Amino acid sequence: MQDHIVKIFDTTLRDGEQSPGAALTSSEKLEIAKMLARLGVDVIEAGFPAASPDDLEGVRRIALEVGNSNPDGRTPPVICGLARANKADIDAAWKAVQHAAHPRIHTFLATSPIHMEFKLKMDPEDVVEQVREMVSYAKTYCDDVEFSPEDAGRSDPQFLHLVLGEAIKAGATTINIPDTVGYTTPEEFGALISGIIANTPGIENVQVSVHCHDDLGLATANTLAGIQAGARQAEVTINGIGERAGNTSLEEIVMALRTRRQFYDLETNIDTTKITRASRMVSNYTGIQVQPNKAIVGANAFAHEAGIHQDGMLKHQDTYEIMQPDMIGLSHSKLVLGKHSGRHAFKSHLIEMGYELDQEELDKAFKRFKELADRKKSITEVDLEALISDQISQPIEIYSLDGLQVSSGTMGLPTATVRMIGPDDKMHVQAAIGTGPVDATFSAIDAVINAPNTLLEYSVNAITEGIDAIGEVSVRLEADNGSIPKRKSPQHSNFFQTRTFGGHGVDTDIIVASAKAYLSALNKLLIASGKYDHLKKKPKKSIPASTVHEPVNP
């Protein structure tokens, strides 16, 4: 074990994806996993395979496609699946991760008095016994087994030493200590880790890991305190997403260790110059925006220069800067392509940006790029990112948008007319009014697609480079009836997560982008209802808007 390396265990796709509204499609998960591999993450926790068959399939694809090679020629990352401490979950996890070159099963059981009494309804002795049995069971599949005592931050330290000792005896190779509810202070959490290292039999032969939550704003400090106490794996997410106030941010831990290397004397395997791109991808796909004043990856994190004119006086660079923007791969978005750029230039730019599309996807993307270039003179890297991430995040189209016409303003009633092609391959046209153009558009779509739902969130990504830029809209909704199969939540046995459906749309016209986003969420809802499984294999041909100009009656 290299003692000066802190391994980065990324759980964006598992704990991060549990954030309300972050639900990702399996293509989005795969793209994020590829990006995490390029970033140099040591372990990717790819999901909770027992949650649903879709979740299992998502983890399996990542194990196969990301867990066996790394584009940079490095060792491929470990692919990890989460499992509660029961056989069914462990079976599902193994089924999903076994195809990776380096698979890991991560199992957990709560050890705090409050969780054992009210959630598990188990005696401490039974908890010890179940940990012993289930770690051994996981070990029959896989050499690499991680065990976490859930809510360790509120557990009795002596009981923890006992449970963890048994887990190690049963074969656990990584022991992960979560502060599940984000309750501890750095002193407490550091002391907890020191105590575990000093008092747990066999701990010297395993990896010690820390997993913190940010409920009191202390996740980064707690994780660093755990590392100072001897932990050499940190469980983190991109942008710090996760349930409630989220998990520890990958970028904060990596850059704190990097910027303050003289203090911590530790390193990670992360290629920091890919941090900005990873942050943008996760924010685009999850629809969870990063606030401007977020450390490292916020839009203003390096921006104070912008407001200061130097008025001729040379300024020493380090006066107000402790990091240089290019360390995290931040470059000002610049004109990269124009109307006359050819397919070759387009393709090489995408490769440079880290997107490897197959021929069909590339053709589709190039066509959309040309349409955009007709409307907007200069296409920046941000525009390209929006375009590609939108394409990747689209589900199979049960209904597709064929035309939209909207009028609004202060003088009349906002009115929208939509024309859509349905699963019957027929055109459907409906008009509706609303309190605004987006409301009218959604009502018109609802008049065609009868899928009762509650809109939970509608958001427009901030535009920071001219109002003619591409607009990105995210929506999140929940089906109103009980027809959607539920998904299990790892922490809440006997509870289920309501399925929410996110949609994403881009266009220079934000009303059109809104329609696309809403339709994309509705298509996901329709697919999840199971009523359109026969369409899943057959990608719908969409009729290009430019070829259909005759009005069609509903």
Confirm or reject binding of residue 156 to a second copy (CB under 8 A). Answer: no
Least distance CB 18 / a second copy (angstroms): 8
Burial (CB < 10 A; 0-12, 13-18, 19+), residue 549, is exposed
Q: Give the Cβ contact number of residue 226 at 10 Å.
A: 29
Burial (CB < 10 A; 0-12, 13-18, 19+), residue 331, is exposed
User: Which part of the chain contacts a second copy (CB under 8 A), choosing from 68-76, 135-143, 389-397, 403-411?
Assistant: 403-411
- The binder of a second copy chosen from 169, 244, 261, 370 (CB under 8 A): 244
Residue 31 token pair: 């793209």
Least distance CB 228 / a second copy (angstroms): 8
Confirm or reject binding of residue 361 to a second copy (CB under 8 A). Answer: no
List Cα–Cα distances, 478 to 19, 26, 451, 498, 502, in angstroms.
15, 19, 10, 8, 9
Cα four-point dihedral sign 29, 58, 26, 180:
negative
Q: Give the Cβ contact number of residue 75 at 10 Å.
A: 11
The nearer residue to a second copy, 91 or 478, going by C-beta atoms, is: 478
Residue 68 token pair: 């066996």
Q: Which amino acid is at 299?
A: A
Confirm or reject binding of residue 265 to a second copy (CB under 8 A). Answer: no
Confirm or reject binding of residue 530 to a second copy (CB under 8 A). Answer: no
- The binder of a second copy chosen from 75, 348, 435, 483 (CB under 8 A): 435
Confirm or reject binding of residue 194 to a second copy (CB under 8 A). Answer: no
Confirm or reject binding of residue 181 to a second copy (CB under 8 A). Answer: yes
Do residues 10 and 44 touch, judged by C-beta distance below 8 A? yes
Query: Site for a second copy (CB under 8 A): how many residues?
Result: 125
Confirm or reject binding of residue 215 to a second copy (CB under 8 A). Answer: yes
x/- mask, a second copy, residues 62-81, rule CB under 8 A, reads --------------------
Least distance CB 420 / a second copy (angstroms): 11
Q: CA 204, CA 403: separation in Å to the nearest integer?
A: 64
Least distance CB 321 / a second copy (angstroms): 7
**DSSP type of residue 333:** -
Q: Which amino acid is at 383?
A: D
Confirm or reject binding of residue 456 to a second copy (CB under 8 A). Answer: yes
What are the residues facing 505 on neighbouring strands?
Answer: 473
Residues within window 371-400 making contact with a second copy, judged by CB under 8 A? 375-376
- The binder of a second copy chosen from 58, 67, 226, 471 (CB under 8 A): 471
Confirm or reject binding of residue 241 to a second copy (CB under 8 A). Answer: yes
User: Which part of the chain contacts a second copy (CB under 8 A), choosing from 54-62, 77-85, 289-297, 390-398?
Assistant: 289-297
Do residues 511 and 404 touch, judged by C-beta distance below 8 A? yes
The nearer residue to a second copy, 65 or 371, going by C-beta atoms, is: 371
Q: CA 379, CA 338: separation in Å to the nearest integer?
A: 6
Residue 217 token pair: 């704003």
> Helices 186-199 and 219-228: crossing angle, nearest 10°?
30
Q: Give the Cβ contact number of residue 482 at 10 Å.
A: 7
- The binder of a second copy chosen from 87, 304, 334, 367 (CB under 8 A): 304
Strands 7-10 and 174-179: unpaired
- The binder of a second copy chosen from 362, 447, 460, 535 (CB under 8 A): 460
- The binder of a second copy chosen from 88, 198, 245, 552 (CB under 8 A): 245
Confirm or reject binding of residue 503 to a second copy (CB under 8 A). Answer: no
Confirm or reject binding of residue 483 to a second copy (CB under 8 A). Answer: no
List Cα–Cα distances, 219 to 46, 188, 222, 223, 355, in angstroms.
21, 13, 5, 6, 32
User: Which part of the chain contacts a second copy (CB under 8 A), choosing from 27-35, 126-134, 221-229, 336-344?
Assistant: 221-229
- The binder of a second copy chosen from 36, 439, 501, 527 (CB under 8 A): 439
Q: Among 16, 502, 488, which Cα is nearest to 290's?
A: 16
Residues within window 4-63 making contact with a second copy, judged by CB under 8 A? 18-21
User: Which part of the chain contacts a second copy (CB under 8 A), choosing from 6-14, 140-148, 170-178, 318-326?
Assistant: 318-326
The nearer residue to a second copy, 168 or 257, going by C-beta atoms, is: 257
List Cα–Cα distances, 365 to 346, 470, 514, 523, in angstroms.
9, 15, 20, 21
Confirm or reject binding of residue 404 to a second copy (CB under 8 A). Answer: yes
Backbone angles phi, psi at 251, to 5 degrees: -65, -35
The nearer residue to a second copy, 392 or 432, going by C-beta atoms, is: 432
DSSP per position, 522-541? HHHHHHHTTTTGGGTTSPPP
- The binder of a second copy chosen from 2, 72, 265, 309 (CB under 8 A): 309
x/- mask, a second copy, residues 115-144, rule CB under 8 A, reads x-xxx-------------------------
